[in-house]
Structures are given as C-alpha cells and as structure tokens.
Structure 1
C-alpha cells in the first residue's frame, strides 16, 4: 500500500526498452515495433527477465526497474495511460471515490541491503546531491541551483553533522522520502485540491520484533528495527514466511485491526470498524494534509512526524502546478 502511481520510479520514460532488450539479446534490426516484437516473441522466456538495461544516467536518477508503466504512444479505446499519472490527478475518475493512502514509518529500510553492499552509492550522493531531488523539479532549475538545493536537502536530513557513508540510516531516511513518502504527500495534496471525496491518511508504525517480514527480507539477520516498506502486508496477507501468531499477541491485534479497516472500507467507504472502536478515523481536511492515523501498538490521530521534511521538499517546487 505504500506508494502512489505518480512515483517517478513507477513511471518509466519512453526510452525504447523493448528495442534495448532485443539488442541486448542479439537483435540487429531497426527499431520497428512489429519487428522488435517478433524477435522478442521468439526468445526463451527466461531471457525476457535476464538483462541489465539501465544506463548510468537512469541509475543516477535512481530508477529501480527497466520496465514499468509508460505513457502510451498510441491512443485507442484500449489505452490505459494516455497521459502521465501526475497529469491525470486533476480529473481522474478516482476523484469521485474515497481512498485510504499512507506509508510506513521507515520506508527507506527497503534500500538497506543495497546501501550496505554498495556504500559508494552514499558517496555518490554526497558528491552529487542533486540525485536526491524530486525528478519533477529538475527541468526548471539551472545545474547550479540544483546543486545548491541538493546540498540544502542533505542538510535537512543530516543537520550539522557532516554527511558520510558511515551514516547508513540517514541515507535510508532520505530514500524513504525520495522513493515513497513525498509522492504519497503530493497525491494527498492533489486529492484535497481536486476532489470532495474523503481521503484517509495512515502511517503504519507497528514495530514487531519478529513479524515485520519485509524488514527481515531487506535486512537479513542484522539486528535492525523499524517498520520497512511493505511491512504492513505482513498483517494483511498470509505468505510463505508467515506463521500463526498467538491470539492474545499484539501482532494478532494488529492483523485484526488492518483486516477490519480494509474490509469495512471496501463495504461502505468508511474505515471505522469494530476492531478500532471507540476510535474514530477522521478524513483529511485541506488545512491539515498531514493528519494521519498512526497504527502502532495503539492508535492515535497525529501530525505526521515526517511533515517538516515533506514541507521542505514542497518548497523546492517553483510552481504549485509542478507539485500537484
């Protein structure tokens, strides 16, 4: 649930990835869709997923995947994305529907193993801080302005401490905002601007010692705590890594809460359910876009602890129309 369609890494630019994949596997023809498709259809299935296509410029922008949704070049009755998801925010059919949206309190743990294995990534950010800026602002500023803004964001996360590749968790915090939280926030702002349907914001902060299964996947056996990207899924779906928890445990209580919230919301567009009584989850209002339901060992409505950094990232956008 942590994420949004406007996240830059979920929206690949049109960079001829199918053609690049074909060339990677020996195609020598022209970049003609029908011919590329014919070549790819003849490949062994495993070759469709065995590749290394991202170039240095794309890695610098922190793209995570070679393939993802793109704005479709051909408009037809079957077209799903005629425009970038960001451009669809203003008049999307989903603006008529209530939604629940949110994130986890330490989303950046998703990158733990990668940064631990490749500390040069952190050094590259220190030397090239514009890497961590929102992608949508980069076309409206000079290289000098972007570098200054990148330094400003490093200072936002490090304070007076000198940035160093020894500060792994500071960089993980940066990634949590870069990959997830700020685009969630922008989506919330768009909802409050363009729709009257209720928007419910949550922050999942249940830090189980052993049942946050995605933290375990990202961090291995290292003694790391925190609520990672996707850890909320541990409490919604039974998986190969799951086990039956004690019925009197905090984990079971959290499972009941999340399932109750989601099934009740699916039934009547309101998340208030028996499992969270007497608590009442209020939808967002325009004057308070950072008021979230914090789901930890207990429940409470609170201003997002991330709000200061989210607001600072907002200020990087020259025009409101860039932000939402």
Structure 2
C-alpha cells in the first residue's frame, strides 16, 4: 500500500523503519475491508518465529504452540482466562454487511478453523463444518434467529478453544501453578458492552473484565453506589490479581472479601477453574459441553 519496492529487502526495511507510525495507522484495514469470513482468517501482522541464524538478536525462534507443547517456557505462576461472551461484537458485522449469512450458507468450509490446516472440499472439512453447525444451532438456517448461537461459535473459535488449549498445555508442563478462570459477570462496569451498544445481549464481551481491574478514564462512567454488585466484583478482582502479583496465588489465605473461597490450580487431572460472576464459583472443565467437540475434531 505504500508503493515501496518489494524486490530489495534491505531497501524495504529501511523505508518501513523511516515511515511515521501514523501512516501505518491510516492504511490499516477497516472492518469492512476484511473479506468474509471475518474473524476466521489469520491476521497479516502477528508475532512471527524468527530464523535461529538471524544476524540480529532474536526473541522468538519457535512457534508459540510448539513452545507450549515442549514445555520450553519460563515455569512461573500463570493465570489465564476468558470472558463468556467474548465475540458479541460480531453482531455488528450483520449490521454493516447484509451478505454474511448468504456467504456462509454458500461456503460451509468457512466454519473449518484455518489453524487446523484441513484442505477445503474434503470429507474431513465437510465433517468438521457439519459438526459445528449441529453443535451450535442444530443446523438451522443461518439468519437473525440464531444470532446468539452464532456469537457463541465465534467466541469459541476466536478465544475459548485456544485459551483452553493453552491452559492445558501450560499445566501439563509447568512446574509452577496454573490458574484458569471464566469471567461471566454482566453488570454496571461492563463498559465495552455499553460503548458498543450491546447491553441487551447476555454475558461479558471482549475486554469487559478490564474496568473491574483498572480505572478506565477514557470511558464515561456514571457513579455507582457502594452497594452495587459491580463494586463487589471489582473489589474481588483487584484483590485476587494483587494477591497473584505478590504471591503467585490469587487466594493465598482465607478472606471474607473473596467469600473464603480457595482458587485451586488447574491441572490436566482436576481441570479446576474459577468462574467470576456475582459470586466466585469454583468449578471444573469450563464449557466442556462445547469444547469436547473441538477436541474430538482437532
């Protein structure tokens, strides 16, 4: 897009390094510039494994998934989790592009995750596509009637599956504890949901947990009373994350603020996690009714 020569790597690098960052921002793709299936395609610019023989200092010489599988990462206490309705934002896709349903109906291979590298138009691809359509909306016709189920599939495809797999691989090798959570509280501080005009939909969408950890001064927030459940959830989130930063354990001791709950480390045997809602709810194997299908198909 810059019109720089692509046949001379050194010159291309020199020009890119001297290009003001504002020009990169101005030329980045907008939501409607991305071809369907949006949210199902790999991003163009992501962390990339560097050549081990690079003349420059290297930071990442292997694919992250290979590092996790080998256990060759820093073994330190690790906390990982997701929000229960991460991909609610995909609702807006249908408000700006009326062709999405028809494109997916005509191209069932769109439902096959690209990171599984399954060739298109093969029996394996057909089986995966059909399994997901059966699982999430019982193979009903695509349209507004399945919008909530549609966002659940997007949530699992974009966030939940990879997060869950990362937790499993980390816990399998990590000599330090791994803590796993699902944030599902839907309250007064779910500010991203408000800003994106999705408050009528259930759940916590992408980034909705952040105002429960940080003061989000770039959002207009109406004052809330101390008795509001959102204040309680915020106090618990801040307490657990502070505990984790200091001790490596989000619940190192009995604490009334945290309902005297103990957050058990996740292992591949116990599959323990903490659901963060109006109350703290210890559980096991989150979203197994959906993720079991993903692991069966991968």
Residue pairs, 1:29-178, within 5 angstroms: 29-51=5-27, 62-63=40-41, 65-73=43-51, 75-76=53-54, 78-89=57-68, 90-94=70-74, 96-139=75-118, 143-159=122-138, 161-178=140-157
Partner of 2:262: 280
Partner of 1:180: 159
Q: CA deviation at 1:244?
A: 4.7
8 Å CA contact retained: 1:202, 1:295: yes
Specify the SS of the correspondent of 1:201: strand
Specify the SS of the correspondent of 2:117: helix
For residues 134 and 203 of structure 2, the distance between their equivalents in structure 1, rounded to whole angstroms, comes to 23
For residues 73 and 98 of structure 2, the distance between their equivalents in structure 1, rounded to whole angstroms, comes to 43
Distance 1:164 1:221, change over 3 A: closer
Q: CA deviation at 1:114?
A: 2.2
Specify the SS of the correspondent of 1:182: helix
Quote the RMSD (CA, aligned, Å).
2.7
Partner of 1:229: 206
For residues 25 and 78 of structure 2, the distance between their equivalents in structure 1, rounded to whole angstroms, comes to 34
Deviates more, 1:141-150 or 1:166-175: 141-150
Specify the SS of the correspondent of 1:50: helix
8 Å CA contact retained: 1:132, 1:178: no
Q: CA deviation at 1:229?
A: 1.2
Distance 1:112 1:141, change over 3 A: closer
Partner of 2:235: 256
8 Å CA contact retained: 2:168, 2:267: no
For residues 53 and 205 of structure 2, the distance between their equivalents in structure 1, rounded to whole angstroms, comes to 38
- 1:316 and 2:294 aligned: no
Q: CA deviation at 1:123?
A: 3.1
Partner of 2:280: 299
How many pairs does the alignment contain?
289
For residues 92 and 174 of structure 1, the distance between their equivalents in structure 2, rounded to whole angstroms, comes to 31
For residues 207 and 30 of structure 1, the distance between their equivalents in structure 2, rounded to whole angstroms, comes to 48
8 Å CA contact retained: 2:273, 2:286: no
8 Å CA contact retained: 1:129, 1:154: no
Deviates more, 1:29-38 or 1:53-62: 53-62
Unaligned runs of 5+ in 2: none
8 Å CA contact retained: 1:213, 1:231: yes
Distance 1:221 1:263, change over 3 A: closer
Unaligned runs of 5+ in 1: 1-23, 318-324
- 1:217 and 2:195 aligned: yes
